[in-house]
Structure 1
Amino acid sequence: MAADFGVLGAVEARIDGRLVVLGHARQRSVLGVLLVEAGRPVTVDQLIERVWGEEPPQRAAGALYSYLSRLRRAVADAGAVGIDRRPGGYVLTADPQTVDLHLFRRLVTLARATDADRSATELIEQALGLWRGEPFAGLDTPWLNAMRRLLLGERFAAELDRNDVLLRLGRHGELLPALAAAVDEHPLDERLAEQSMLALYRCGRQADADEQFRRIRRRLADDLGSDPGAGLRRLHERILAADPALAAPVPETRAPGVQLAMPATMPAQLPADVRAFTGRTGELAALDRLLAPPEGDEPPLTVALLSGTAGVGKSALAVRWAHRVREAFPDGQLYVNLRGYDAEQPVAVADALAGFLTALGVRGPEMPLGTDERAARYRSELTGRRMLVLLDNASSVEQVRPLLPGTGSCLVLITSRDSLPAMVAVHGAERVSLDLLPLPDAVGLLRRLIGARVDREPSVAADLAAACARLPLALRIAAELAAARSDVSLTELVAELGDHQLRLDLLDAGGDPRAAVRAVFSWSYQHLPADAARAFRLLGLHPGDSVHVAAVAALTGTDPGEARRLLGVLVRASLVHIGRGGRYAMHDLLRAYAAELATVHDPAPERRAALTRLFDDYLAGAVAAMNVLHPQEPVLTGDPDAARSWIEAERPNLAAACTYGAAHGWYRHAIAIAATMFRYLDAGGPVAEAVTVTAAAVAAARADGDRAAQARALSDLGRLHRRQGRLHDAAETYRQALLLYADLGERAAEAVALRNLGSVHWRLGDYRQAAEHYRRAWAHYRELGDEAGQADASVRLGLVDGRLGDEAQATERLRSALELFTRLGDRFSEAYVLSLLARLSGGPEQLARAAVQLEQSLAAGRQAGDRTAEAYALTDLAAVYARDRRFAEAAGHLRQALVLHRRIGDRASEAEALNDLGQVLRAAGEAAEARTQHEQALMLAREIGDRYEQARAHDGIAATTDATEDCRPHRDLARRLFAELAVPAAPGLGLPAVAPGG
C-alpha cells in the first residue's frame, strides 16, 4: 500500500489516499519530528526535548513510548513504512521522497541545478504546490516552532528563485501582483525589492519603481539604520537611466493567477483525443496555417470556425487538432461544450464564463455577478497569455461573442452546425467547412475499426460507407456493430442496413444526411439486447452531461454491477463513450435520439419513475456526503476526502437535477437537493452556482405551493445575496421570507429571519433598524425558551451599542451572552464573544483567554473544511492580537482571512478585513502599506453600499496621507459619513459586522 506523509501544513499521513487518524497534538508532534528526520534515527532524549521542550513532565518517557506504539499501529497498513527501534534511537523507515518536506527540498535542488528556465519554473512550482499551509499547523513546541521558521525561510527563498526565473522568461506582468503582496509581507528584503522594481519598470511604471526604491530606503534607515545594498542601488540607477539592458525579453507567458502563496495550475480542459482518427488532412493543414507568426506588434485575435452538419466530425477534428498543437499554447487550454442545440439545457453564457474564470483561478467575490462583468474579467485574465480556447457546439454568435478573449496571444476554435456568418464578417473568423468524408477516407476509417474484412470485400465496404452517408459518427457506430458480428459478412450487414434506411426514408424523405445517422442509430439500436436498449433510452433522459455507474443503476432500477455491464454493451456499440474519471457520456445526437425513443417505447409513468429514482439517488448521495463533511449529528462518521470528491464530481449533475426538477415537476427533489447543496456551497463553494441552485428551489417551492420551503429557500438566497454584497437584494429577500414565516406561525424561523434582516441593516449603516430587528428576534427567542438564540441576539445588540459608542451597555450585553454560551457549552460562540470583550476593554488575562479559545475555533474550522468559520476565527484572532500590540501576527491572520473571504465570496467581510489590516499596519508604523489596504476597502465598500466601511476607509486614507497631499477631502468625507451614521468619528479596530451564524 502506498503511504504519503506531510508536514508542510498539518502533520498528516495518507495510506492509498486515505487520511490516517494520528491522535492528539503531542502524538502528532512525535510523528512530525520523525518525518523531519525520515530515515535517520532520533534518540529518546532528542524526541522528548523536541516534543516537550526543556522542561518535560516526569513521565515523558512513558508517554513517548505509548505515542510511538500508537503511531506504529496507525501506519502499520503501509507495508514498507514503520517506526523501528535502532541502536541510535527511533527511525521512521519511510522513503524520504514520500514526505512532502524532503520532496520539496529535492525539487528545489533540481530546479537550482538546471540551466533550463522553463524546467526550473516547473520544478519550483511543483515544490511550492506541496505546501498546504504553515508547517506543523496546530502544533506548538520550541523545536517545531524553530523548524517552522526555518522551513518558511526555505519556502521564501524558493519563491525568490522562481521570481528570478519568471523575470528572465519575460513574465513580469503576471508576476507583478504577487510581488506586490510579497513586498507587503517582507518590506525589508532587498532581493524582493529588486525583483519588484524590475517588474514595475518592465511594465512601463518607472515612477512606481522609483517609489519602490525610496520606500525600502526609508524602511531600512528607520528600522535598521542602514542604506540599501550595492545591488539595489545599481538597479535604481539603471532604471533612472532607462538602461536598454533592462528591457524585457520576449514574454514567456504562463497559466494565470501567479501567487506566491500557492502556484496556480495550468488549465488543461481538452477532452480525450479521438481514437482511430482518419483523414481530414486538408482541414488540419488549414488549421495549422493559423499558427503562422502574425504580422505586426499587436496581432488580432485568431478565431477558427469549424462548421458542418451534425455528426460530420467537427468536435473530433477540433479535439484532434487541439491535442496536436497544445505545446504551442503553454498557458493552457480551456474547453466548454455549449450544448447549443440542446432544446432543454444549452449552457448559459454566464455559466460558461464562470467555469472558465474558475479554471483561471478566480474565486469567491472575485467572480463578477453579471454576464458583461464576467466577460470583462475573463478578457483581463487572458491578456498576454498564450491559450487555446475551444468552444464546442455553439448555436449562435450571441452564445460565442462574450467568450472571445481580447488578446491576440490566444486562439479560439469554435465548432457549430451553423455557418455563423457574423463570426466571419465581424470577428474575422477563418471558416473551415467540413463536408462528408471522402469515400477513401470513409473506407479507411472502417478499415481501422473493422480490420481485414474491409480489404476482403472492398466494394461492399464502399457501399457501407455510402449507406452511412460518409458521416464519421455513423461510420463508427456501424463499424462497432460489424465488429461485434464477426460471423456475418459485410454484404449481409449492408443489406440489413439498407432495409432500415428504406423504412426510415419512407417516413422522412428530406434528403438530409442526418437521416443516415438516424438510420445507423436505428440499425445499431435494433441489435441491442432488450435491457441495454432500455438503458440507452433512459440515459437520454438524464439532464446532465456525464454520468457515473451509480446514476445509471438508479435510472435503470438495477444494481451497480448490472449497470456497469449495460454500459459496457453500449460502449462497445459506440452509443456511449467513457470520459474522464470513469464517467460516461453520449454524443448530443445520440442523446436526442435516445430521448426520442424513450417517449415512444417507455410510458410516461415509467420515464417519470426512472428520473425519480435518479433524483432520489442524487439526493441521498448529497445528504450522505454533507453528513460527513458537515455532520448534523456528532455520531456520524465517514471519509471526508471521499465525500468531498463525490460532491465535487457530481456538482454539475446536482445543479442540473435541481434546475430540471424545478422546471418539470420534481419540485420536492429540487427543493431538497438545493437545500443540501446550500450546506456545502455556503461553507466556501462558488457563490454564483449557489445562487442559481437556490433560486431554482424558490421557483420549485412556489410552483409546489410549499410556503415553508419557499421561506427557507428565500432565507438561503438572502444569505447568498448578503455575501455577494447585494445588500438591498438581501433585505428584500429576507423580508419576503419573514412575511411567510410570520404567516405560517414558525416563530423560530421568524426569529432567524429577523436576525438576518437586522444584519443587513447593520451593513447598510441603519443601526436603529438593525437594533429593532435584533430586539424582536430576542423576544421571539425568549418566548420559545431558546437561550442560545437569546445569547446570539444579545451579542448583536451589543454590537450595535458598541458601534454607537455605548461601550458600557455593549460590555453588559456581551458578558450576559458569554455566561449563556459558557453554560450551554458553545465553544465557538464563547470564543467569539471573548474576542469582542477583548476588543472593548481586554486586559492581558482576558486577551490570553480569548486567544486560546479562538485558536481552538480556528483549528476546528480548518479540520471541518469550513472556510467561513476559519475566516471569521482568523479575523477575531487578529483583533485580539492587535489589541495586545502583536501587530505582525495580527496582520498575518488578516491576510489569511482576506484570502478566504475572497474564495468564499464574502465581499462585506473582505472590506472590513481590509480596513482592519490597514489599521493594524498603521499602528505598526507602515503608513504606505496601510493606505493601500484602505484604498482597496473603499472601492469594495462603495460597490456593496457599506457606508461604515467607507467611512473607516476615508478615515484611514486621511491618517496615512503624507505631507505632499491634502488629507482634508478624505477627513471631511469620513466625518460626514460617521455623522450620518451617528457613530463615533474615531473608530478603533472596530467590532465585527456579523455575529455567529449570521
Structure 2
Amino acid sequence: MTAEFGVLGAVEAKVAGKAVDLGHARQSSVLAVLLVEAGRPVTVDQLVDRVWGEDAPQRATAALYSYLSRLRRAVAGATEVGIERRPGGYVLTADPLSVDLHRFRKLVTQARSTEPDRAAAEHSTRALALWRGDPFAGLETPWLSAMRQSLLDERFAAELDHNDTLLRLGRHSELLPALSAAVAGHPLDERLAEQLMLALYRCGRQADADEQYRRIRRSLADELGSDPGAGLRRLHERILAADPALDVAVPSPPVTVPVPARANVPAQLPADVRAFTGRTGELAALDRSLAPDGDEPPLTVVLLSGTAGVGKSALAIRWAHRVRDAFPDGQLYVNLRGYDSEQPVAVGDALAGFLSALGVSGSAIPPGVEERAGRYRSELTGRRMLVLLDNASSVEQVRPLLPGTGSCLVLITSRDSLPGMVAIHGAERVNLDLLPLGDAVALLGRLIGGRVAREPAVAADLAAACARLPLALRIAAELAAARTDVTLAELVEELGDHRLRLDLLDAGDPRAEVRAVFSWSYQNLPADAARMFRLLGLHPGDSVHVDAVAALTGSGAGEARRLLGVLVRASLVQAGRGGRYGMHDLLRAYAAELAAEHDPEPARRAALTRLFEHYLAGSVAAMNILYPDREPAAGDPEAARNWIEAERPNLAATCTYGAAHGWHRLAVELAGTLFRYLDAGGPVAEAATVTAAAVAAAVALGDRPAQARALSDLGRLHRRQGRLDEAARTYRQALDLYADLGERAAEAVALRNLGSVHWRLGDYRRAAEHYRRAEEHYRQLGDDSGQADASVRLGLVDARLGDEAQAAARLRSALELYTGLGDRFSEAYVISLLARLSQKPADLAAAADHLEHSLAAVRQAGDRTAEAYVLTDLAAVYARDHRLAEAADLLRRALVLLRRIGDRASEAEALNDLGEVLGAAGDGAGARAQHEQALILAGEIGDRYEQARAHDGLGADHARRLFADLAVPAAAGW
C-alpha cells in the first residue's frame, strides 16, 4: 500500500488513501522532523532538541523511543516505508517524493529550469497547490518555528518566480488581485512591487502603477532609510515613458524588465575574456549542467579541473557570462587563491564577502565559520544564483561555500581533481586539457593578426613552444604584437633558449613551459619595469591601486602609471577600474620567486614598509575626515569613505601580514586607526581579522597598553554578535591588563563593559558588582559622566530585581549629573526610565517629548545604532501610555535597524517588547510569533532573562521558575 505524507499544513500521513492517527502533538513533532529529513539519519540528540528544545524532560530519550515505536506501528501497513535505527541515527525510509515538502522543492526546481514558460507555469502551479496552510500547523517548538519560517520564505520565493512566469505569458489581469494582496503583506519587497506595477500598467492603470512606486519609495525611506533599487527605478521610468515594450507580453522572447530577486542582486563576475577561442566541447558540457536529465534535477555543483594556466578561469568566466540570465538572483565570485602559499583566502573571509554581497550588514555577519556558512545557506534559500569559486585547492576550502539549496549552481575551478566533490557532493567534473593545436593557433591569430596567417607553420611552432596553454599564448602574443620588427621564427628561437635553461631545472613539470614563457616576457622588460613586476609579487592583497604601487616601488604616481602600462602591454599585469591592477596567481608566484632571487631581503622589506606606511597614512587621513576629534576636518567625507571601502581588503591583509611577518607596530597602529570605522559599519569579518592581528602584534611587541586596547575592542565585537561568554573572557583579560598598568579610566570602562555582559547573561549580582567598582573609579577620577552612567546601570539592576524605589533614587542622581553636563541625549533617556517607573500621564508625556527630540537628533546625525535604541525607549513609553499601535510601529522600525547593525542581544529584547505590545492589543498570534523568535535568538546568545520573558509570553508553566532562578520577580521589560 502506498503512503503519502504532508508537512505543508498540519502534519499528516495517509496509507492507501486513509488518514493515519499520529497521536498527540509531541509525537507528531517527531514525525515532522523525520519527514523534513526523509532518507537522512537524525541523531537521538537532534530529535530531542528539535522536539523539545530547552524544555526537554529528564526522561525525554525514553519518551522519544516510545513515540518512535508508535509511529512505526502507525505506518506499518505502507509499502517500503519504515522508521529504522542506523549508525547515524533514525531514518524515515520512504521515497522523499511521498512527502509534499520534497515534491514541492522538486517541482520548483523544474519550474526554474524548464522552457517554455507555459510548461514552467504548470510545474510552479502544481508546486504551490501542495500548500494547505502554515507548515507544521498546530505544532510549536523552537526548531519547528524556525523551519516554518524558512519554508514560508521558500514558498514566497516560488510565488515570485511563478508571478514572473505568468507575466511573461500575458496573464496580468488574473494575477492582479493576488499581487495586490501579496504587496499588502510584503510592503518592502521590491521585486513584488515591480510585478504589481507591471501588471497595473498592462491593465491600463498607469496612474496606479505610479502611485505604487511612490508608496514603496516612501516605505523604504521610512523603514530602511534607503532608496528603491536600480531595477525598480528603471521600470518606473519606462512606465512613465509608456515604453511600448512593456505593453506586449509574448512567450518568446520574454519581456526583459529588470527584476532583482531581492534588494541585493550581486553581479560579481569579472569582466568577460577578450578574444576567447575554442573550448566548444567544454562549453557544451557546461550548458548541459543547466538541463535536467529526464526526471533528474539539474546539477548543483560543476568542477572544472586542469593544470595551471590551461584557461580554467577564462572558460568559467566566459560561460558564466553566457548563462547569467539563467540566474536572475545574481552571481557570486571569489578567487580563493588556493595555490598561493602566503595568502590563500580563508573560508571565513570568503563567506563574509558573500554575505556582504547578499545584503547582510557587516556587523550582522556571524564571527564563526560554521555560523557564517549557516547564514550563507539561509540567505541563498529560494534564490536562483550562480556561485563561481575560482582557484580552489581542496574540498575543505570549498565545502562551507556550497549552498544548501538546489536552486543554485556552483562552478568550481581547481588544479586538483577534488575527488571528494564528485564522490560526496555529486559534482560533475569537466576536465580541461591543453588547447588543441588548431585552437591555439587561432587564438594567436586573433591576438597577433595577419602574421599568423602569413607564417602558419611558425605560428604552430610558437603555439607548441607555449605548451598550448592560453595564459602563455596570450603573453607570447602580446610580446609578438609589440615587437613587429622581429619575425615569429626569431621569437620562437629566442623562447627556446629560455625554456631550455628552465627545463633543466624543472623537467617534466608542465608549468616549466609556462615559466619559460614568463621568463621570455620578463627578460624583455626594461629594468625599472622588471623591478616593479618583482615587487608586485610581494603585495599581500588581490588588487593594488597605482598610488600604492608608487609607494611600493618608491616612485612617483606618474612613473608608476607609466611602468604599469608597460606591464599591462606585456600581459604580466591586468588593468582594472579606478586605477587598480591585478595579477594572475601564477604570475604573482613567479614575480615573488624573482624578487627572492634578485632583490636583497632589506630591499624587499623596505618596499613593503613603504607600502604599509602608505596604507597607514591613508587610513589616518580618511579617519580624521570621517571622525574628527574636534572641528570638522577639511576633506570630502564621501571620498574618504570610498577610499577605505576600496582598500579595506588590502588594509586587513596588511594587518594580518604585518602581524605575522614583523611589522608589529604598524599592524597595531593600523588596526587602532580603522577600528572605529569597522565597528560603526564595516564587515565584522574584517573587524575581527584586523583586531585579532592587533592583539597578536601587541603581544609580540610586549606593548601591554596596546594589547589591552585591542582586547577591549575584540570584546566589543564578541558582545555585538551575542557571543557573551567570549566577550566576558576577553574583557577580563583587558581589565587585568588595565589594572596592572594603573590606567584607571580605561579600567572603569572595562568594568562597565564586563558588567553589561553579566547583565545580558542574567548574573545581576556580578553585573552590579562591576558597575559599583566602575562608579567608584569614576568618582575618584572626578568623571561626572562616568558616574552618571554607572548610576543608570545600577538603577536598571535595581529595577529588574524589583527594588523600584532604589532604582528611582539612582536614576534621579544620574539625571542631576547629566543636566549639569548639558548631555541632553542621556538626560532624555533617564527621564524616560523614570517615567516608566512612575507611569503618571504627565511624566510619560514629558518623557515622550524628550525622546522624540532625541530621535530627531540621532536621525540627523545618521547614527543608526542610537536611533534603534531611542525607538525602543520611546516605544516603552508609548506602551505604558496605552498608545499600543504607535509602540508596535516604533518597535518594528527598531527591529529593522537592529538587524541591519547586527545587535542580536537588543533584537531579542525588542522582539519580546513587540510581543508584549501585540498581546496587550489583542493580537495573540502576532504576539506568539514575536516571542518565538525572541526565544530562539535569546537561546542562541545565552540571554537567560529574555528567554524567560519569551517563555512567559508563550504561556509556559516554567516561566515563573526561570524568573525565580534569576532572582527576578517577573517580566518587567527592563
After TM superposition, the structure 1 = structure 2 runs for residues 939-950 of structure 1, keeping only pairs within 5 Å, are 939-950=936-947
CA distance in 2 between partners of 1:529 and 1:707 (Å): 48
Structure 1 window deviating more from structure 2 (276-285 vs 751-760): it is 276-285
Name 1:973's counterpart in structure 2. 958
CA distance in 1 between partners of 2:860 and 2:817 (Å): 26
Deviation at 1:640? 2.8
CA distance in 2 between partners of 1:842 and 1:759 (Å): 26
Q: Which of residues 471, 489, 492 is equivalent to 1:491?
A: 489
After TM superposition, the structure 1 = structure 2 runs for residues 104-115 of structure 1, keeping only pairs within 5 Å, are none
Q: Which of residues 938, 954, 968 is equivalent to 1:983?
A: 968
CA distance in 2 between partners of 1:827 and 1:490 (Å): 79
Residue aligned with 1:341, SS: coil
CA distance in 2 between partners of 1:581 and 1:615 (Å): 20
Letter in 2 for 1:545: D
Q: 1:829 to 1:253 in 2, by over 3 A?
A: farther
Residue aligned with 1:932, SS: helix
Name 2:453's counterpart in structure 1. 455
Residue aligned with 1:682, SS: helix
CA distance in 1 between partners of 2:907 and 2:880 (Å): 20
Q: 1:476 to 1:986 in 2, by over 3 A?
A: closer
The answer on 1:737 being equivalent to 2:722 is no
- If the length of structure 2 is used for normalisation, what is the TM-score? 0.72
C-alpha contact (below 8 Å) 2:269/2:333 kept by paired residues: yes
CA distance in 2 between partners of 1:178 and 1:346 (Å): 49
Letter in 1 for 2:587: L
Q: 1:717 to 1:451 in 2, by over 3 A?
A: same
Name 2:163's counterpart in structure 1. 168
After TM superposition, the structure 1 = structure 2 runs for residues 585-596 of structure 1, keeping only pairs within 5 Å, are 585-596=582-593
Q: 1:376 to 1:784 in 2, by over 3 A?
A: closer
The answer on 1:421 being equivalent to 2:381 is no
Letter in 1 for 2:594: L
Letter in 2 for 1:387: M
Unmatched tracts of structure 1, length 5 or more: 1-115, 118-160, 196-250, 959-969, 992-998
The answer on 1:289 being equivalent to 2:266 is no
Deviation at 1:733? 0.8
C-alpha contact (below 8 Å) 1:364/1:906 kept by paired residues: no
Name 1:771's counterpart in structure 2. 768
CA distance in 2 between partners of 1:669 and 1:843 (Å): 57
Structure 1 window deviating more from structure 2 (803-812 vs 375-384): it is 375-384
The answer on 1:830 being equivalent to 2:815 is no
Name 1:912's counterpart in structure 2. 909
1:103-152: CA deviation from partner (whole Å, max 9, x where unpaired): xxxxxxxxxxxxx99xxxxxxxxxxxxxxxxxxxxxxxxxxxxxxxxxxx
Deviation at 1:366? 5.7
CA distance in 2 between partners of 1:730 and 1:696 (Å): 17
After TM superposition, the structure 1 = structure 2 runs for residues 148-547 of structure 1, keeping only pairs within 5 Å, are 168-169=163-164, 183=185, 263-296=262-295, 299=297, 301-363=299-361, 367-506=365-504, 508-547=505-544
Deviation at 1:984? 2.4
Q: 1:410 to 1:341 in 2, by over 3 A?
A: same
Q: 1:701 to 1:386 in 2, by over 3 A?
A: same
Deviation at 1:637? 4.3
Name 2:668's counterpart in structure 1. 671
Residue aligned with 1:510, SS: coil
Deviation at 1:387? 2.0
Q: 1:724 to 1:841 in 2, by over 3 A?
A: same
C-alpha contact (below 8 Å) 1:698/1:710 kept by paired residues: yes
Name 1:583's counterpart in structure 2. 580
Q: 1:514 to 1:898 in 2, by over 3 A?
A: same
Letter in 2 for 1:168: N
CA distance in 1 between partners of 2:713 and 2:166 (Å): 43
Deviation at 1:741? 0.5
1:504-553: CA deviation from partner (whole Å, max 9, x where unpaired): 233x1413221121112112112222222222111111111111222212
Name 2:659's counterpart in structure 1. 662
The answer on 1:690 being equivalent to 2:687 is yes
What is the total number of aligned residue pairs between the two structures? 749
Deviation at 1:773? 0.7
RMSD: 3.1
C-alpha contact (below 8 Å) 1:254/1:331 kept by paired residues: no
C-alpha contact (below 8 Å) 2:260/2:328 kept by paired residues: no
CA distance in 1 between partners of 2:434 and 2:642 (Å): 42
Deviation at 1:365? 7.2
C-alpha contact (below 8 Å) 1:254/1:385 kept by paired residues: no
CA distance in 1 between partners of 2:839 and 2:636 (Å): 41
Letter in 2 for 1:409: S
CA distance in 1 between partners of 2:709 and 2:683 (Å): 20
Q: 1:982 to 1:425 in 2, by over 3 A?
A: closer
CA distance in 1 between partners of 2:822 and 2:883 (Å): 29
Q: 1:861 to 1:776 in 2, by over 3 A?
A: same
1:308-364: CA deviation from partner (whole Å, max 9, x where unpaired): 111111100110111111122222212111111011121222222232233233346
Name 2:756's counterpart in structure 1. 759
Letter in 2 for 1:345: Q
Deviation at 1:163? 12
Residue aligned with 1:335, SS: strand
C-alpha contact (below 8 Å) 2:928/2:953 kept by paired residues: yes
C-alpha contact (below 8 Å) 2:260/2:329 kept by paired residues: no
Deviation at 1:179? 9.0
Name 2:598's counterpart in structure 1. 601
Residue aligned with 2:486, SS: coil
Name 2:814's counterpart in structure 1. 817
Structure 1 window deviating more from structure 2 (670-679 vs 542-551): it is 670-679
Residue aligned with 1:427, SS: coil
Q: Which of residues 796, 800, 803 is equivalent to 1:806?
A: 803
Letter in 1 for 2:471: L
Deviation at 1:294? 3.3
CA distance in 2 between partners of 1:403 and 1:822 (Å): 53
Residue aligned with 2:266, SS: coil
- If the length of structure 1 is used for normalisation, what is the TM-score? 0.71
CA distance in 2 between partners of 1:733 and 1:321 (Å): 48
C-alpha contact (below 8 Å) 2:290/2:298 kept by paired residues: no
The answer on 1:897 being equivalent to 2:882 is no
Deviation at 1:880? 2.7
C-alpha contact (below 8 Å) 1:625/1:646 kept by paired residues: yes
CA distance in 1 between partners of 2:782 and 2:278 (Å): 76
Deviation at 1:421? 2.2
Q: 1:755 to 1:534 in 2, by over 3 A?
A: same
Name 1:618's counterpart in structure 2. 615
| % identical aligned pairs | 79
Q: 1:863 to 1:344 in 2, by over 3 A?
A: farther
Deviation at 1:954? 1.8
Letter in 2 for 1:979: A
Deviation at 1:661? 1.2
Letter in 2 for 1:762: W
Residue aligned with 1:292, SS: coil
CA distance in 1 between partners of 2:373 and 2:527 (Å): 47
Deviation at 1:776? 0.8
Q: 1:383 to 1:768 in 2, by over 3 A?
A: closer
Q: 1:401 to 1:178 in 2, by over 3 A?
A: farther
Q: 1:568 to 1:254 in 2, by over 3 A?
A: same
Residue aligned with 1:431, SS: strand
Unmatched tracts of structure 2, length 5 or more: 1-116, 119-155, 168-177, 197-253
C-alpha contact (below 8 Å) 1:301/1:409 kept by paired residues: no
CA distance in 1 between partners of 2:593 and 2:374 (Å): 40
